[in-house]
Structure 1
């Protein structure tokens, strides 16, 4: 006679906690920060409506989407909010809203109302970049910002990649350097990617980096660091700081800072490459796009008037 033990409905607490940590680790730090913000917003809204946030009813989540839509939130923000609420429910052992018809109908209605075209920020093209670099003061903060802007542009880097760079990630070569990117949005498992950085004669990213590191006394560890108001080099920069640096640099040269974002350096390299006729595959070697479909948008936009079907008869 064999003894069959009953299977418990839930995992023991230590195992469940470990499983939850792994589930959270599958998401990027930026996503988790956004999820926490969205979840806090949802809880606050539920309290004002005197309804239960956890577990929430599908009708509650749909009503929250509708209220945020009235506040002028973007489609991507609304969809991310629902994902955050679903994640919180899954972590707490409740059913998510991924299959809820009521919630999915609310999201579809939102997309029909707002449209699905992404709101794209302006790229910092090479012409803008030259002015931004020239306008930076010769202070410690100015040297850092100049180096950050130039390297972000020359490497088509994301803001999260910029703030994670160490001095050891850059290996100088004749005419440029090899830059190792240990982890990125498209490489969440940390396999690592290496790109080439040209110093060039216009942007001179490596020259600006050398000036920053030498003045700041940085020989190892984090490449870009915060600087306090007394000119003392401190700890790490946040990826939001990169966005602020870009916006401020744009404003200094007379551009509308609201048109630019942390993505503008990366978009600027790709757009500038497309405008000068660089091969898409060569651009992708630096930008590390896995799919050329995304890259094709930039190339097509830059070529709309240069290569036109009506060029010979209009």
Structure 2
């Protein structure tokens, strides 16, 4: 920023972003924090409010403005040009923006620049000797069921995958077989595999929770791995990242998570399933483990979750599964109770 336009708020925004780098946050996290806080600061200036003095009303107005930002980039009624949103932000994205602002104000409170944080935190009620009511945050939490393909949709995806290079087919197999996150999949090394026992180590530094785990993979995935390794040796004979780019521009370079996202998007388009994403294979694997009777704690360990609550969000039993279970357990009882209701005459 130029010396002429730098404000007191700009100085503290820059200091907070620098702090995130110094704390060792991932580059993508730092970039997301920087986008979020500078976007909010620009909104405040457009409203004639110093970001350091913003109150709850300003936060609420910002969230409302995110819903109405036009394609040109600025907010409704605001001259300041800001990055255009590709589409209306989802609930999770809005909550992420709100979390960034809350963390920024936590920093200001810690530095003694503010007495309070204007971003209201949601709290659950508790019993700690006295009854306390739960408090709602500024945004509700929407728990959306993950999309998983039906059998017909899965067959269409597999048919489209048959024309993919062996590398992509192996990645698809590992993503499902081991319930891997996108980052975990792309960060796999050749040394992470134990072919004799068909085990793969997910290193702690590559995981979301920073906790490593060892998971098995199937014989079919092992066959794909054996078929891919000679292809990889044509690109590089050095040990290291397993999945390498074969494109002339990035030849023998490790593929990025963005590349894998593009591969899955293209595959979903060819299969006629635009909802297919990198996380779909993980959702499907964990759901299948639940379908065959795995205990919730076993699924959490396999998935690398710290909390059972996280595991519950990933387990999606389809209406067909629920119908089958209902028919096997409760249908007769329900029919008996409903029979008397059906006999009622006007």
Q: CA deviation at 1:81?
A: 1.4
Residue 31 of structure 1 pairs with residue 53 of structure 2:
no
Aligned to 2:157: 132
1:147-179 CA-partner distances (Å, limit 9, x unpaired)? 1111111110111111221111111124x2333
Instruction: Tell me which of 247, 258, 270 is aligned to 2:265.
Output: 247
Say whether residues 1:213 and 2:229 are aligned partners.
Answer: yes
TM-score, reference length from structure 2: 0.66
SS in 1 for 2:120: helix
Seen in structure 2, the aligned counterparts of structure 1 residues 65 and 95 have a Cα distance that, compared at 3 Å, is farther
Residue 180 (structure 1) aligns with: 202
Unaligned runs of 5+ in 1: 1-15
- Does the C-alpha gap of structure 1 residues 261 and 118 become closer, same or farther in structure 2, counting only changes over 3 Å? farther
* Alpha carbons of structure 1 residues 79 and 284: separation in structure 2 relative to 1, 3 Å: closer
8 Å Cα contact 1:97-1:103 kept in structure 2:
no
- Among residues 52, 58, 64, which one is paired with 1:66 in the alignment? 64
How far, CA to CA, are the matches of 1:127 and 1:274 in structure 2?
20
* SS of structure 1 residue aligned to 2:265: helix
Structure 2 Cα separation of the partners of residues 150 and 307 of structure 1? 29
Deviates more, 1:88-97 or 1:231-240: 88-97
CA distance in 2 between counterparts of 1:197 and 1:159 reads: 17
Q: Deviations over 1:54-92 (max 9, x none)?
A: x35224333212212445433322222132234445667
1:119 aligned onto 2:149: no
Q: Which residue of 1 aligns with 2:310?
A: 294
Tell me the residue number matched to 2:181.
Answer: 158
Choose 1 or 2 for highest CA Rg. Answer: 2
Q: Which TM-score applies when normalising by structure 1?
A: 0.72
* Distance 1:68-1:224 versus aligned 2 partners, 3 A rule: same
SS of 2:33's equivalent? helix
**Would you say the 8 A contact 1:20–1:91 is kept in 2?**
no
TM-aligned CA deviation for residue 124 of structure 1: 5.1
The verdict on how the C-alpha distance between 1:51 and 1:261 changes in structure 2, with shifts beyond 3 A counting, is farther
- Paired with 1:97 and 1:305, the residues of 2 have a C-alpha distance of 55
Say if 2:282 is the partner of 1:266: yes
Is the CA contact (8 Å cut-off) linking 1:270 and 1:283 kept in structure 2? yes
Aligned-residue offset at 1:122: 1.2
Structure 2 unmatched ranges of 5 or more: 1-14, 70-87, 123-134, 336-346
Aligned length: 280
The verdict on how the C-alpha distance between 1:138 and 1:280 changes in structure 2, with shifts beyond 3 A counting, is: same
Provide, for residues 174-223 of structure 1, a one-character-per-residue CA deviation record: whole Å limited to 9, x for no partner.
4x2333333354532xx522112222xxxx22222333332132552112
Which of 132, 154, 168 does residue 191 from structure 2 map onto?
Answer: 168
1:222 aligns with 2:241: yes
Contact 1:165 1:222 survives alignment (8 Å): yes
